[in-house]
């Protein structure tokens, strides 16, 4: 389970710590960020105290209309034993009552010189990436013409050898053997290699090779969005494989369904070229061109014409 602490935000975004330094190791448990508006008015019944709190010009200017005892009361209620931190934006002056309450409760108060919307955007993106659902898949991830293709199949089917040929053809390796995948947003899967085997490729009979050393920095990527699954399987003479491309298979990873192409493997088939063309065909479909459907419509038109002539 990934743990994110307030100190991580201070280091990552170079935030200025102005109070509550004893709580910099508090754990952040959610990617949600709260702007305490109703709380500034004194309503704490549904205060999301477990969230990171962010105060901008609106919240701070409201405090100027309150009496000193009211400001002190709001700040004391804002700083709870589970609040991971409070971020002040625009480099604004931090109220003395907030620093006092934060020091007493051990809630870190941080300041950023940037605008509120920008700070929220960057913090949310960072936290959602950290808390995104993750899994690991046995396979190879390659960037082919900008399409992240996850190559899967049984061990020894030829995934790594195919990836090596794709790299030689100018494409980029992301991960071999084990692909760590995290879900960002509702329909986005990002794959990356484990740190131990980053940029490495295992070829049976040859051993482990460093793709970046052999082919240069342009032959690798550290992460890539997965758009297509190419599943390799041994050729089965009794199985009916899709010959037109009308049948659309999918593979579910976490909560996302990805288009899947099942490619039978037997001697004489150039798998790297086939997967390369599959990636190009996928791009073509996203542009609105579906060759299989166009052929089917053309075939139906010919059949209709023939039927009309017979009648």
Note the pLDDT tens digit of each residue in 32-81.
999 999 999 999 999 999 999 999 999 999 998 899 999 999 999 999 99
Element (H, E) at 252: strand 249-253
Q: Of 17-21, 193-197, 214-218, 299-303, give the lowest mean pLDDT range.
A: 299-303
What kind of fold does domain 134-295 have according to CATH? Rossmann fold (3.40.50)
Residue 175 clears pLDDT 80, i.e. is over it: yes
Q: Is 177 a catalytic residue?
A: yes
Q: Are strands 86-88 and 134-138 parallel, antiparallel or unpaired?
A: unpaired
Give the CATH class of 4-131. alpha beta
Q: What is the mean pLDDT of the chain?
A: 91
Q: Is 231 a catalytic residue?
A: no
Average pLDDT in the 130-146 region? 94
Q: Is 159 a catalytic residue?
A: yes
Residue 243 clears pLDDT 80, i.e. is over it: no
User: Could you say which of 26, 74, 159, 224 is catalytic?
Assistant: 159
| Known binding positions for ATP | 153-160
The proportion of the chain whose per-residue pLDDT surpasses 70, expressed as a percent, equals: 96
Residue 135 to residues 106, 130, 166, 189, 293: CA-CA distances in angstroms?
A: 35, 13, 25, 10, 35
Element (H, E) at 291: helix 291-310
Average pLDDT in the 250-272 region? 91
Residue 266 clears pLDDT 90, i.e. is over it: no
Contact 276, 245 (CB under 8 A): no
Average pLDDT in the 17-42 region? 94
Return the pLDDT at 129. Answer: 87
Residue 93 clears pLDDT 60, i.e. is over it: yes
Q: Is 65 a catalytic residue?
A: no
89: its two tokens: 């934006």
The closest of 85, 60, 91, 92 to 74, measured between CA atoms, is 60
Domain ranges of the chain: 4-131, 134-295
Return the pLDDT at 246. Answer: 67
Residue 195 clears pLDDT 60, i.e. is over it: yes
Residues 6 or more apart whose CB falls under 8 angstroms from that of 104 comprise: 79
Residue 221 clears pLDDT 80, i.e. is over it: yes
User: Could you say which of 177, 182, 199, 221 is catalytic?
Assistant: 177
User: Could you say which of 3, 46, 239, 243 is catalytic?
Assistant: 243
Taken as a whole, the chain contains a residue count of 311
The torsion region of residue 156 among left (phi > 0), alpha (psi -120 to 50) and beta comes to left
**CA torsion through residues 52, 57, 62, 64, sign:** positive
pLDDT band at 305 (very low <50, low <70, confident <90, very high): low
User: Could you say which of 12, 21, 115, 138 is catalytic?
Assistant: 138
Return the pLDDT at 81. Answer: 94
| Known binding positions for Mg(2+) | 160, 202
Half-sphere exposure of 8 (CA within 13 A, CB side): 14
Return the pLDDT at 307. Answer: 63
| Known binding positions | 153-160, 202
């Amino acid at each position: 389970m990934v743990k994110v602490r307030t100190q991580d935000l201070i280091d990552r975004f170079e935030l200025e710590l102005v109070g509550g330094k004893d709580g910099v190791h508090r754990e952040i448990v959610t990617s949600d960020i709260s702007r305490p508006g109703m709380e500034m008015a004194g309503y704490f019944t549904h205060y999301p105290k477990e969230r990171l709190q962010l105060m901008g010009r609106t919240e701070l200017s409201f405090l100027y209309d309150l009496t000193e005892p009211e400001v002190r009361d709001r700040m004391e209620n804002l700083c709870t034993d589970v609040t991971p931190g409070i971020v002040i934006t625009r480099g604004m002056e931090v109220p003395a009552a907030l620093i006092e309450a934060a020091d007493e409760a051990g809630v870190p108060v941080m300041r950023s010189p940037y605008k509120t919307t920008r700070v929220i955007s960057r913090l949310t993106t960072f936290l959602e990436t950290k808390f995104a659902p993750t899994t690991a898949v046995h396979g190879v991830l390659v960037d082919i013409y900008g399409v992240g293709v996850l190559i899967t199949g049984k061990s020894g089917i030829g995934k790594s050898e195919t990836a090596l040929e794709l790299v030689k053809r100018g494409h980029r390796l992301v991960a071999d053997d084990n692909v760590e995948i995290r879900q960002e947003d509702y329909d986005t899967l990002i794959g990356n290699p484990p740190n131990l085997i980053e940029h490495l490729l295992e070829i049976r009979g040859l051993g482990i090779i460093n793709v970046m050393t052999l082919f240069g920095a342009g032959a690798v990527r550290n992460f890539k969005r997965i758009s297509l699954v190419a599943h390799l399987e041994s050729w089965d003479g009794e199985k009916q494989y899709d010959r037109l491309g009308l049948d659309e298979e999918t593979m579910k990873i976490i909560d996302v369904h990805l288009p899947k192409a099942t490619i039978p493997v037997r001697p004489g088939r150039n798998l790297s070229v086939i997967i390369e063309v599959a990636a190009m065909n996928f791009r073509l479909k996203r542009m609105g061109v579906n060759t299989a459907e166009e052929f089917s419509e053309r075939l139906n038109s010919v059949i209709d014409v023939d039927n009309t002539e017979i009648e």
